[in-house]
Amino acid sequence: MLSKRALNLKPSPTLQLVVRAKELAAKGNDVISLSVGEPDWQTYEAPTAAGIKAIKEGFSKYTAANGIPELREAIVQQLKKEHNFDYTANQVTVGTGAKFVLFAAFQMICDEHDEVIIPSPYWVSYPVMVELASGKPITVECGKDVNFKITPQKLEAAITNKTKAFVFSSPSNPTGLAYTKDELKALAEVFKKHPKIVIITDDIYNHLMLNGQIIAPHILEIAPELKSRTLIVNGVSKSYAMTGWRIGWAVGPTELIKAISDYQSQATSSASSISQKAALEAIKNCDADIVKSNKLLLERLTNALTAFEKIPLVKASKPDGAFYIWLDITKTFGKKFEDTTIQNSRDFAGILLDKYFVATVPGLEFGTEGYIRISFAIETPRMMEAIHRIEKLISKLS
């Protein structure tokens, strides 16, 4: 009954962990989830009120496949204000979450066997999305020695005559590290030599900055000449705490944007009309809310990093943004917990969840072994309890 595509499809490992954590909680266990990539606070008041107003006013019909005009115009104005980019509303398409927009983009970019370069560690869905578009993900290992970011040398070495696209996020999921202007400039010099490569920037965390910057640097600020082949993807999920509203967008070359919009028209018709009204209000009126959220995240991060410093065998990397800690657990490999020898990050995360009821995501799922991803978008007392449980696990290793 099933196609080869269905048989080879890999489910989202992060969502699988959510299910496992809920199963343990249903049995009465006090489970602390550090695995989900979403803020723990509620959607801000302004977009919430706008969504309710849209419902009450009956704004509940189909919209254009590429989104309501006023939302697309607000996205254009935001890019102008924050980066001084010049786009028009017809260079914007709005979809049911940035994740689906990325999925649609790969469908419209890739032909069979086209290669897409993905720096590792990467967001878990990138390679699968490329495979579902009949493309070939080319993962480039970017380890601790290069601060988990792709270098121009590694990028150049990965490019072949089959390379169609390059995708990356900054700040990164899972590391929270952001590319500097100098790093982006060096990458841009490589792209200039390869004019057929489409550059996809996943900017979903670019407002959640914890290093003193207001917004993450963008490659088009450094190299505006790449604009004709760069696709900017973003959404309201992370920065505006609107994961369940499912609104994302792409901004880029008119031809590609039209193709993505047409694909969406066949796949989802349009994004939720009500959510679009809420997203419009978020973009226009929630800058101050984001500042407050970033302050809260920084306080939580500082507390967490201080606690991790006291635990042997693990080391936490300080992120530039987002809400993830990339925890080095390589020193636990080869050690025993009861009758189990920890051989990889799945072993460590599995023991931590099953025995101590703390859910994290193994680094293997992000293409890089030796780490686990921890979300600190959780109230500090619960985070401290989770770290205490990690410390208890470490103390039991032999």
Cα(344)–Cα(334) distance, rounded to whole angstroms? 9
Residues 199-224: tens digit of each pLDDT:
999 999 999 999 999 999 999 999 99
pLDDT along the chain (398 residues), means of 10: 88 79 93 92 98 98 98 98 98 98 98 97 96 97 97 98 98 98 98 98 98 97 98 98 98 98 98 98 98 98 98 97 98 97 96 96 96 97 98 97
Name the average pLDDT for the chain: 97
All domains in the chain, ordered by first residue: 4-42+288-395 (3.90.1150.10), 60-285 (3.40.640.10)
Structure tokens at 296: 């809260």
What is the pairing mode between strands 115-120 and 136-141?
Answer: parallel
pLDDT by residue (tens digit) across 57-107? 999 999 999 999 999 999 999 999 999 999 999 999 999 999 999 999 999
Contacts of 311 (CB under 8 A, 6+ apart): 387, 390, 391, 394
pLDDT value at residue 305: 98
CA 200 to CA 230: how far, in whole Å? 6
Q: What is the DSSP string of 228-271?
A: GGEEEEEESTTTTT-GGG--EEEE--HHHHHHHHHHHHHHTSS-
pLDDT at position 152 is 98
What per-residue confidence (pLDDT) applies to 8?
84
d(CA 122, CA 142): 10
- DSSP string across 329-344: -GGGTT-EETTEE--S
**Predicted TM-score (pTM) of this structure:** 0.96
Looking at residue 9, what is its pLDDT? 86
Q: What is the pLDDT of residue 224?
A: 98
